[in-house]
Chains A and B, each alone.
Chain A
Amino acid sequence: MLSPPQTSPLSRREAITRLAKVGLVLGSAGAIGKLAYDRGGMDLARGGSAPQTRDYRETYPPADLPQMAIARGAPGLELDPKAPLPAAAPDPASLVLRAITAMGGMKRFISNGDIVVVKPNIGWDRTPAHAANTNPLVVAEVVRLAYDAGAKTVVVTDASCNEPGRCFQRSGIWKAAYDVGADVVLPSEHRFRGMRLGGEVLHEWPVYKALVEADKVINVPVAKHHNLSKYTGAMKNWYGALGGRRNRLHQNIDVSIADLATFMRPTLTIIDATRVLMRNGPQGGNIADARDVHIVCASIDQVAADAWGCGLIGRKPEDMPYLAMGESRGLGTRNWKSLRVADA
């Protein structure tokens, strides 16, 4: 299009067009300014305040079924370090089966079509003999029982301390769980989501998405010594649900553990005490530090499970601050003997 000759006056149409363009640009800038205006202030970034806790427990635990079941491979091993070992080591899988059967079977906890997350301890680059991670045979049996009870998918996952690929492989859990059909998920940054834990010291933390998007969660920790918290089992296993810089949790480890156990309340806790790390926990490294105990304990009360478990390394529940906090917060009881305990 040719421009009009310079001599002719500006047409009305042209003038209006130009004015409209200026108005449009200015108006848009103003609108963006209005919409995107940042008032500043330190508190604006904070989200809501209601804690996003997860409670996967049975709604109505049957009154005729046990709240805790202990399957012992050989009597007396947990109390007396010098007690003779059984001639043939009992199969860890059979101990799991006995404990779960005594609890009323896996069908008590898992419905058809459930997405079940099994959370073992896969924290360390150690082999099963070191007893720093959950025994792979225990994990595999839990997965198998969950599938038999009708689970749609069973996810096995943990946020490891050492390099995850190595932890998952060398713990033996990757292969053992995969072989029974579990969906083994290695931690990756996109698998975490920021959540409001609403704890006393733990506020907003990245949490493993699998663990908060499940239908049922089964905690399968290994019972072992821990140099700072003295004993670690069920409640401290939730450290593996967190991403981010977990190293700061140790400054107030007992409250941190209680906060995590308040946030995550599993359907079932199965403590692997087939082999127990007695000292240099949590990662050990010397086979001589671990001892065969051949016990698997299942419980619907994670405080009670730990109250029982700390006895394995010679601790009393009264001496464990995080158990006291758990009890006072109503998470469970330290007096595990007061529960309906089945000797499986």
Chain B
Amino acid sequence: MIPERKLSSTKKAVFTSTSRLARALAAGKKRLGIGRPRSGSGLPARKSIVTLVWVRRFAQTFFFALFTWLLFETTFRGSFASSESSVRLPYAVEGFLLADPFVAAMTLLSTHTIYRGLAWSIAVLALTLVFGRVFCGWICPFGTLHHFTAWLFPSRYGKGTKRVESNKTHERRQRVKYYLMVGFLAAAATGSAIGGLFDPICVAVRAIGLGVIPAAQYVAGVAGQGAAASNIRPLQSASDVTQDFFAQAVWQPKQFYFHQTWLIVVLLAAILFLNRFVPRFWCRVLCPLGAFLGVFSRFALFGMEKDHAKCTDCNLCLVHCQGADSPQGGVKHRQDECHMCLNCESACPEDVIKFRFLPKRVSTTREPDLVRRTTLVTAAAGAIAIPASRIADVIDANYDKRVIRPPGSVEEREFLERCIRCAECMKVCPNNALHPAWFEAGIEGLWTPILIPRIGYCEHSCVLCGQVCPTGAIQKITEKQKQGIGQKPISIGTAFYDFGRCLPWAMSTPCIVCEEFCPTSPKAIWIEEVDVPKRSPHAQENGKEPLMEMVHVQRPHIDPSLCIGCGACEKVCPVQDAPAVYVTSIGETRSTTNVILLENTSYTSGKG
């Protein structure tokens, strides 16, 4: 034995901390319900179920982390690839959208095709056919966010009876998502993938990518400025190191801004806040993807069996029920609402709930309980919404000049058939050029991508928006196609000069930054060399009019046959508030009517 005084102080510390750790672990176990006596008959849950509940928690954490990481990686950070190699993202950052069967179904109805990677959604459908809505309970990052939020803020309705009541099936409320789904699918069939406004993955990418991440960057930037102004060296360098890390791993070196993004963020906050009243309100009431999977979960091979006779109505199953799918005895289980979280079986102290393959379906309702008339009315509403929105003067007549679509976009009608407003293109755009439209493209075009050159221009050699677009609204073009190497380049608009504001034109002042930045070769901006009079700003001493002098300036002109509408000229124009050169959508390659030049006009090829 070692006499105690011979133990070094460090060893003592280790011993103390070990015992502290053991105590903390014991406390944790108690809190998690391990080792706590179970109520009622106290029958322990099956080992397999207890394990699966933990596997589910890890899966949720993993998929949420994966989603967040892919969102962070939805940006170009540069690489050591050679000068000549084409710039692409190394990962399929739009993976969660590709696996989204609701997106696949909408675009299948609108375009009659399954675009490329969307075939992955069949895997999620297959998973649903075997296990039910495991996507909702185990995989969906937005679902996990709600699961977490509902756990974090249950304050008022989080305890006892109120909590049990809030987790009981609420028929009228939970039908809403099916009607939404039906309406959106009908709208897709009549030509608009507008359901992307409500698709959970789209909502998550849009709200986190365009709202939460830029806001966090803004706050970090303000903190960084504070640190820089503090003149405390260690604080400054620590701040620089932190900013570098975030700029390289989370966001990008430049602060991004997004057009009218406040509503997107407010809606996210509102949806999350609703968890305070009804846990997973979004998943149970609004989510059209959940409804879509709910429709297919009727075929699931895995499901619940209940032994009603053994139920003591302790309601423990309802305490942590995610889907509000009636796990308790005495009523039928709602398989279409169940997220397969397995909390109910894990909690049940009797021998009532059993999840198994090929269960007897006597105590299960498998189909959504819908009112046929309401279903038909919502379908009709969805179907007429699109033509109704198009009688407004936004597409066919008075097409808005600000609707500058990303390069490689398909013609506007087909674009609306495909675009699910997921905001992947806006997130990936390295110049912060793409923004969620407000009402520029009509109510139907809300949050579809438009280019706002004053905030950022379209980088000449960049085709990343097409790479990440999951539905082909922006096609996967190559640099050669975009820049027009050996072919006609892709144009997204045309630049125009406001001669009244242009420095060489109106103020006899040299400038031509626009010409310098024009990326085409030969340049679409050409220069006219002129000598023009300029008045001296000072009156002569004898009170006579100020003197005139001749100055040499270069006056810029646009060649519309070469302009690709990238907006670099507008971005760099020094006339800050209303630039002297600006881009409008006219002359876009994708349209045969929104053109200026006769040689680009053709009524033979397709619509538009």
| Chain A residues with a Cβ under 8 A of chain B | 125, 127-128, 136, 161-166, 168-172, 174-175, 178, 186-191, 193, 226-228, 245, 247-248, 250-253, 280, 282-286, 289
Contact = CB atoms under 8 A, between A and B. Distances in A.
B10 interface: no
A127 B84 contact: yes
Given A162-B460, A191-B240, 12 more contacts: A125-B460, A125-B461, A166-B78, A166-B462, A169-B79, A170-B87, A186-B78, A228-B554, A247-B572, A250-B574, A252-B510, A286-B522
> Which of A165, A178, A280, A284 has the most chain B CB atoms closer than 10 A to its own CB?
A165
B459 interface: yes
B228 to A, nearest CB: 7
A143 to B, nearest CB: 15
Nearest to A288: B521
B573 A187 contact: no
Contacts of A248: 574
A165 B83 CA distance: 12
Contact of B255 (A164, A189, A247, A283): A189
Chain B contact patch, size range: 35 or more
A165 B429 CA distance: 12
B224 interface: yes
Nearest to A175: B80
A282 B516 contact: yes
Contacts of B254: 188-189
Interface of B: 76-84, 87, 221, 224-225, 228, 239-240, 243-244, 247, 253-255, 430-431, 459-462, 503, 509-513, 515-517, 519-523, 527, 554, 572-574, 576
Given A253-B510, A280-B522, A168 B82 contact: no
A283 B512 CA distance: 13
Contacts of B78: 164-166, 168-169, 174, 186
Contacts of B512: 227-228, 250
Contacts of A193: 228
A256 to B, nearest CB: 11
A247 B571 CA distance: 10
A253 B554 CA distance: 13
Contacts of B520: 285
Contacts of A165: 76-78, 430
A286 B459 contact: no
18 contacts: A127-B84, A165-B77, A169-B79, A169-B87, A172-B82, A174-B80, A186-B78, A186-B253, A189-B221, A190-B221, A227-B512, A227-B554, A248-B574, A250-B516, A251-B574, A283-B519, A284-B521, A286-B522
Contacts of A127: 83-84
A250 B225 CA distance: 29
The 3 A-B pairs with the shortest beta carbon distances in the complex, nearest first, are A165-B78, A285-B521, A188-B253
Nearest to A252: B510
User: Which of B78, B247, B513 has the largest number of chain A CB atoms within 10 A?
Assistant: B78
Contacts of B81: 169, 175
A227 B522 contact: no
Contacts of B461: 125, 166, 170
Given A171-B83, A247-B574, A250-B511, A163 B243 contact: no
A211 B243 CA distance: 19
A259 B460 CA distance: 32
Contacts of A286: 521-522
A247 B83 contact: no
Contacts of B515: 227
A190 B462 contact: no
A228 B504 CA distance: 12
Nearest to B572: A247
Contacts of A168: 78
Contact of B247 (A162, A163, A188, A285): A188
Given A174-B78, A247-B574, A251-B574, A190 B459 contact: no
B575 to A, nearest CB: 9
B510 A164 contact: no
A164 B512 CA distance: 22
Contact of B510 (A190, A228, A245, A283): A228
A179 B122 CA distance: 45
B536 to A, nearest CB: 16
Contacts of B503: 251
Nearest to B79: A169
A128 B83 contact: yes
A228 B514 CA distance: 11
A175 B83 CA distance: 9
A161 B460 contact: no
Contacts of B243: 188, 190
A165 B519 CA distance: 17
B459 A280 contact: no
A163 B459 contact: yes
Contact of B517 (A161, A172, A189): A161
Contacts of A289: 521
Contacts of A247: 513, 572-574
Contacts of A125: 459-461, 519
Contacts of B521: 280, 284-286, 289
A251 B507 CA distance: 11
Contact of A166 (B459, B554, B574): B459
B576 A227 contact: no
Contacts of B510: 228, 250-253
Contacts of B572: 247
Contacts of B221: 189-190
Contacts of A172: 82-83
Contacts of B431: 163
A188 B509 contact: no
Contacts of A174: 78, 80
A253 B574 CA distance: 13
Contacts of A171: 83
Given A188-B244, A250-B510, A285 B77 contact: no
A186 B512 CA distance: 27
A151 B462 CA distance: 37
A177 to B, nearest CB: 11
Nearest to B255: A189
Nearest to A162: B459
B574 A164 contact: no
B527 A227 contact: yes
Contacts of B576: 245
Interface hub of A174, A228, A247, A289 (most chain B Cβ within 10 A): A247
Given A162-B459, A165-B78, A251-B510, A285 B574 contact: no
Contacts of B76: 163, 165-166
A162 B79 CA distance: 16
Contacts of B82: 172, 175
B513 A250 contact: yes
Nearest to B247: A188
Contacts of B228: 190, 193
B326 to A, nearest CB: 53
Contacts of B513: 247, 250
A142 B140 CA distance: 52
Residue of B79, B511, B512, B572 contacting most chain A CB atoms (<10 Å)? B511
A189 B253 contact: yes
Contacts of A187: 253
